[in-house]
Amino acid sequence: MSDTILLAHGSGGQLSHDLVAEVFVASFANPMLGRLEDSAVLANLGSGRLAFTTDSYVVRPLFFPGGDIGRLAVCGTINDLAMSGAQPRYLSAAFVIEEGLPIADLRRIARSMAETAREAGVAIVTGDTKVVERGHGDGCFITTAGIGVIPDGVDVSAAGAWPGDAVLVSGTVGDHGMAIMSQREGLRFEAEIVSDVAPLHTLVRAMLEVCPEVHCLRDPTRGGLATTLNELAGQSGVEIVIEEARIPIRPAVQSLCELLGIDPLYVANEGKLVAIVPEEAAGQVLAAMRAHPLGRDAAIIGRVRSGRAGRVSLRTTLGAHRILDMMVGELLPRIC
Amino acid sequence: MRYVDEFRDPARAQVLLQRIRDTARRPVQLMEFCGTHTHAMFRHGIRQLLPPSITMLSGPGCPVCVTSAADLDRAIALASLPGVTLTTFGDMLRVPGSRGSLQTARAAGADVRVIYSSLDALEIARREPARTVVILGVGFETTAPTMAAALLQAEQEGIENLRLYSLHKLTPPAMAAILRSGEVALDGILAPGHVSAIIGSSAWEFVARDFHLPCTVAGFEPLDILQGIADLVEQCEAGISEVHNAYGRGVRSEGNPAAQALLAEVFEVSGAEWRGLGSVPASGLALRGRFRRFDARPLLDERRPDWSEAREPAGCRCGEVLRGVLEPTRCPLFGRACTPERPVGPCMVSSEGSCAAHYRYGGTR
């Protein structure tokens, strides 16, 4: 095989077959994919409702501290399933690759996806590859779709928050977005900021075990914690009140945010979740989260109240109150 | 790495607030020049913690906001030239000019790209030698040195296809223009920390000397800002008008000589057009001497009549907001016709604009 991706790798001919066999099938190694049929045929998924989701992944650089686009594409879809209370089972993966991408990079991405899938206990069972001309893509775009099973008795919804509920976050916010930004900006810090990209379904399982009636779960990806809280307040028709001082933020992330003039509450996370749970279960859920490796820094950060539907208020560290709005536009470093 | 928390300590903030409450006997109006101060005060809720006798007015310290409609029209025209790639900080994309914005120009086919620093533009110029890569140079004394550094680098590497459209502005002349106009009664100035790190706290001496007002340089953490306000209130009560530096860890009296030398090598002081203030002499930076070959201005036909026809968006009162004459919430468009999602004027667009700060954090909705 050549060292870089050629347009011919997407032609459907011999090169395409070789690429699929040597890079993807070899890495993802499972019998359903190995049959190379037009569809993966899934075995009986058992009892419970099915959850089904899809997402596309675009990130520059493709490799960043703590992860890469492959791990992101697997975790992101697993997490979307997990946030509906589902245990993820099968994924698809479609690649749009830019001509000229080193095949070694593609292999590294595929290996990372395979490792992440193995770690998460899911199988990548079907896929597709297309190649676009140089200059028409950012190296590699990945779209994954996923199927999971929601156990009986679990009913998680963004519209499920009730006045009195507690609001929890599973750990430090802003890690992923600032890891990416520190790479793009070429900023080097004594303590490197590492993306939190991780599959959250086992954390969700641990939470549901102690509290099957978790009301809301959502992973605060693009738009960050602030945007997610606004979505939950809006969809549930409640007000959420957050204590700024209780939100876990790594000092390195805080410092970089201040340097660039960015509010960490709007920065993307890829391995964190926000949970809204009945108040009486909050202590137990928090303990279950802290006992899980991905929830060690979990904290109760606020409360739900009837108040004004759709509003998120923040009590600042200084004791003042302000509105915590949705993100508008994109996150940009300040000019001045 | 732990420089943030200690400047957000609630107990120390209470001590400063108490000091301010104990000192402030008569009503005072203070202006924070800098948009980053405005945002930090809203973000931490400082305005609501101050005693009612203290009024904080926002000044023109938002580089995006003070860019005039005519200059923006020129930037859009530059971006629309064949073979030109216009690189800009993202905040500028959505600012409305006379007819559309850079964003609408991009949708219509102009090659407009968002950069995070001037070095990104240099990289594009290196990679795409056939295109003329123009940097839209917006910013105060803090941003201009990075532009100067990019041009020096381009010169050294022999990169021929990089141009700068310098809309860089100097802050002290704008402050002086506001004070000279006497449009707003001010009792003191909270001077910008980042800018002063470059130009030095001594650059604000004219505020005390010529206008007999106290002026305190402050940083951007809650305790920095409270410290600055406490100092101003104390000066007001004691009848003192001096320049004080409450941001000792970031600002020296003489500023940053290396950055100043960089500016002096590449730029010369020129007049500049400010939204809200109009033409302010000696308040801009133009390329000097051998760096003029990097100037993007000659790419434009200055005889085109359009430039003189530049107009502000209908009903927009950003100019008055930038002079501290109008509180954003008193603008008839605020929160109705003009929101961050659909901004009419630049003060609602920029992350440093005071309308955006009032809207995002105001809690008036």
Check residue A47 and give its pLDDT: 84
Nearest to B45 among A258, A322, A334 (CB): A322
Q: Which domains are seen in chain B, by residue range?
A: 29-300+310-365 (3.40.50.11740)
Q: Is residue B7 less than 8 Å (CB to CB) from chain A?
A: no
Which of the four pLDDT bands, split at 50, 70 and 90, describes residue B365? very low
Q: How many other CB atoms are found less than 10 A from the CB of residue A307? A: 14
Check residue A32 and give its pLDDT: 83
Instruction: In whole angstroms, give the CA distance from residue A209 to residue A189.
Output: 40
Report DSSP letters for B334-351, one per residue. BTTTB-SSS-SSHHHHST
Q: Between chain A and chain B, how many beta carbons pairs sit less than 8 Å apart?
A: 106
Mean pLDDT value across chain B: 93
Residues 87-116 of B with CB under 8 A from A: 89-91, 94, 114, 116
Check residue B328 and give its pLDDT: 94
pLDDT at residue A109 is higher than 60 = yes
For the residues B249-275, what does the mean pLDDT come to?
96
pLDDT at residue B86 is higher than 90 = yes
Q: Work out the minimum CA distance from B303 to partner chain A, whole angstroms.
A: 31
Q: Between helices B118-127 and B144-157, what is the axis angle to 10°?
A: 30
State whether B1 and A332 contact (CB < 8 Å): no
Check residue A191 and give its pLDDT: 66
Check residue B7 and give its pLDDT: 84
Segment A191-235, tens digit of pLDDT? 689 999 999 999 999 999 999 999 999 999 999 999 999 999 999
**Which is nearest to A274 in space by CA: A220, A238, A313?**
A220
Nearest to A335 among B10, B64, B119 (CB): B64
- Per cent of chain B over pLDDT 70 is 97
Please report residues of A whose CB lies closer than 8 A to that of B139.
335-336
Instruction: In whole angstroms, give the CA distance from residue A270 to residue A197.
Output: 4
Check residue B364 and give its pLDDT: 42
Q: Is residue B199 less than 8 Å (CB to CB) from chain A?
A: no
Segment A122-177, tens digit of pLDDT? 999 999 999 999 988 889 999 999 999 999 989 999 999 999 999 999 999 999 99
- Per cent of chain B over pLDDT 90 is 84
pLDDT at residue A34 is higher than 60 = yes
Structure tokens at A293: 């490796």
Which of the four pLDDT bands, split at 50, 70 and 90, describes residue B133? very high
Within its chain, how far is the Cα of B202 from the centroid? Answer: 19
Q: Work out the minimum CA distance from B1 to partner chain A, whole angstroms.
A: 6
Please report residues of B whose CB lies closer than 8 A to that of A317.
8, 10, 44, 222
State whether B1 and A317 contact (CB < 8 Å): no
State whether A185 and B116 contact (CB < 8 Å): yes
For the residues B290-295, what does the mean pLDDT come to?
97
pLDDT at residue B363 is higher than 80 = no
Q: Which domains are seen in chain A, by residue range?
A: 7-150 (3.30.1330.10), 166-323 (3.90.650.10)
Segment B195-253, tens digit of pLDDT? 999 999 999 999 999 999 999 999 999 999 999 999 999 999 999 999 999 999 999 99
Structure tokens at A308: 């004004």
Which of the four pLDDT bands, split at 50, 70 and 90, describes residue A185? low
Which of the four pLDDT bands, split at 50, 70 and 90, describes residue A190? low
Instruction: In whole angstroms, give the CA distance from residue B360 to residue A49.
Output: 40
- Per cent of chain A over pLDDT 90 is 76
Check residue A1 and give its pLDDT: 61
